[in-house]
Amino acid sequence: MSAYRVSLKSLFYIAVGNLGLAAALDCFFTPNEIAAGGFGGIGVIVNSLLPVSVGTVVFVISVPVFIWSWFSQGPAYTLSALLSTAAFSVFADLLSFLPCLTENRLLASVCGGALYGVSGAVLVRGYVAGSGTDLLARLLVTKIRHLSLGSFIFICDAAVVLASVFAFGDIESGIYAGAAIAVCSYTTDRMIHGFNKAVVFEVITPDGESCEKLSRAVMEKLDRGVTMVPAVGMYQHSERNMLMIAVSPKQIYEVKDMIRTLAPGSFAVMLHANEVIGEGFKGLDVTVPLKDLPDSDKM
């Protein structure tokens, strides 16, 4: 945890990410009584019952978690979560004047969930320590080791959604909250893992000639790189060459035709990749471990 430190770049991500979260809360969730999990969801519930702002509720209930985190995870990690939660709380109250953009609760859950997801991905991109139920789940998992981090987050969010059903006296509130959480999770995953999907072919060619022909065709006609890996068939202990080829989805059928015509008798496996990083493919993975980043990019 000592690798964490606050930089101007980190503060930028904290500000932008939490601004988006607060906007989603004030424009979609709070006016439609949608408690989409997390401490923000608790804030929506309390705000509907008492004259207390959502931001105030979020920060107050976070204080015990910060104290626990300070002794459990250390001051550096806790500082990041504290700054993130403080930013969210302040923005949530400052933007409370914003109008409700739609009174259609299904549309609000989808749009709010999408904005929540994008904003959450921004925080991940900034390598910001988790706050709210995310931080709580990280602390709980150190004490109850037989459950995963994802399980704890799910339990925390489910508890908030269930509480909203009783607080609002409306089961539809829980359904819309669940929909918002699902949209948020999907959007965050897509932002983190990238939209740059690809297909990877692993082709075991029967001989050196077909291996050379197929490789050259892929490189020259499709402008894609090819990696050859020596392989041994364990049934007859025969030496073969395996080609690894990463292409875009629209090039699938071209590769299949090339294998069929230039390397008949090959054994090919087609795998779907969420993202490919490197030359010929756009985008970089935003989930690089902190230890692999330059010092200037770490918190």
Instruction: Please check whether residue 154 is in contact with residue 44, taking contact to mean a CB–CB distance below 8 angstroms.
Output: no
Fold of 198-273: Alpha-Beta Plaits (3.30.70)
Instruction: Please check whether residue 30 is in contact with residue 55, taking contact to mean a CB–CB distance below 8 angstroms.
Output: no
pLDDT over 60 (residue 1):
no
Order of strands across the sheet that contains 238-247: 226-233, 238-247, 198-205, 267-273
Q: Encode pLDDT of 246-274 as tens digits.
A: 998 888 999 999 999 999 989 999 998 87
DSSP 107-167: HHHHHHHHHHHHHHHHHHHTTPPP-HHHHHHHHHTTT-TTS-HHHHHHHHHHHHHHHHHHH
Instruction: Please check whether residue 6 is in contact with residue 294, taking contact to mean a CB–CB distance below 8 angstroms.
Output: no
pLDDT band at 285 (very low <50, low <70, confident <90, very high): very low
Task: Give the predicted TM-score (pTM) of the model.
Answer: 0.70
Instruction: Please check whether residue 208 is in contact with residue 241, taking contact to mean a CB–CB distance below 8 angstroms.
Output: yes
Mean pLDDT of the chain: 84
* Count of C-beta atoms within a 10 Å radius of residue 233: 11
As a whole number of angstroms, the longest Cα–Cα distance in the chain is: 77
Within 8 A by CB and 6+ apart from 30, the residues are 44, 47, 54, 96
Q: Which residue has the tokens 């608790």?
A: 42
Write down the pLDDT at residue 29: 95
Write down the pLDDT at residue 179: 94
CA distance 139 to 172: 31
Q: Which residue has the tokens 């987050």?
A: 153
pLDDT band at 287 (very low <50, low <70, confident <90, very high): very low
Q: Domain boundaries in the chain?
A: 8-193, 198-273
Residue closest to 174 by CA, chosen among 47, 61, 32, 279: 32
Instruction: Please check whether residue 263 is in contact with residue 211, taking contact to mean a CB–CB distance below 8 angstroms.
Output: yes
Q: Which helix (H) or strand (E) holds 281?
A: none
Lowest mean pLDDT among 87-96, 151-160, 207-216, 246-255: 151-160
Instruction: Please check whether residue 35 is in contact with residue 163, taking contact to mean a CB–CB distance below 8 angstroms.
Output: yes
